[in-house]
Amino acid sequence: MFEPRVNETEQMTVAYLAMRGAYAQIPEGYGRLYQWVQACGYVPMGMPRAVYFTDPAVVPEADALWELWAPVQPGVSPSGPDDQGLGVKAVAPRRLATAVHKGPYDSVGATYGALAGWIAEQGYEIAGPPEEAYLTDPAEAPPEEYLTEIAFPVRVT
């Protein structure tokens, strides 16, 4: 069921991995990111997220730019990215329009489209790259049960 909403986030600190290319790298990328988080002694705080800086309808997947985020405890000093693309940054509070998609990751396009339409109908405009929060561990659920929160930063038009 499509139930969009707008909410205000608080500042958060994220460990991140800057990525380029195929989205099939996501599982391996999260493995690298969370190994690094553990090696640094950071404490994960919340669901993993991804931010997509290029539009897959315009930019070939081989040239896609995106980041994987692992929210960590507040107070970790910003750093990086290092030569592996790993770093830590503070993410400022923002207003997000969100909707939860249920199903395989390769079917999120319809939710993106519906959310973008809803945003415009509500008098907002998209103000930054889309994000996804992964609410279901793919190791613990079949693809038809995956829950992915789709989010766009928005501002009033």
pLDDT digits (tens, 9 = 90+) for 64-121: 999 999 999 999 999 999 999 999 999 999 999 999 999 999 999 999 999 999 999 9
3-state secondary structure of 35: helix
3-state secondary structure of 122: coil
Instruction: Centre a 10 Å sphere on the Cβ of residue 25 and count the other Cβ atoms it contains.
Output: 16
Q: How confident is the model at residue 122 (pLDDT cuts 50, 70, 90)?
A: very high
With 90 as the cut, is the pLDDT of residue 2 above it? no
Q: Name the residue range of residue 22's domain.
A: 5-156
DSSP 79: B
Of 1, 18, 4, nearest to 119 (Cα)? 4
Per the structure, how many domains does the chain have?
A: 1
Q: How confident is the model at residue 44 (pLDDT cuts 50, 70, 90)?
A: very high
- Cβ burial, residue 126 (10 Å; 0-12/13-18/19+): middle
Query: For position 56, which CATH number holds?
Result: 3.20.80.10
Q: How confident is the model at residue 157 (pLDDT cuts 50, 70, 90)?
A: confident
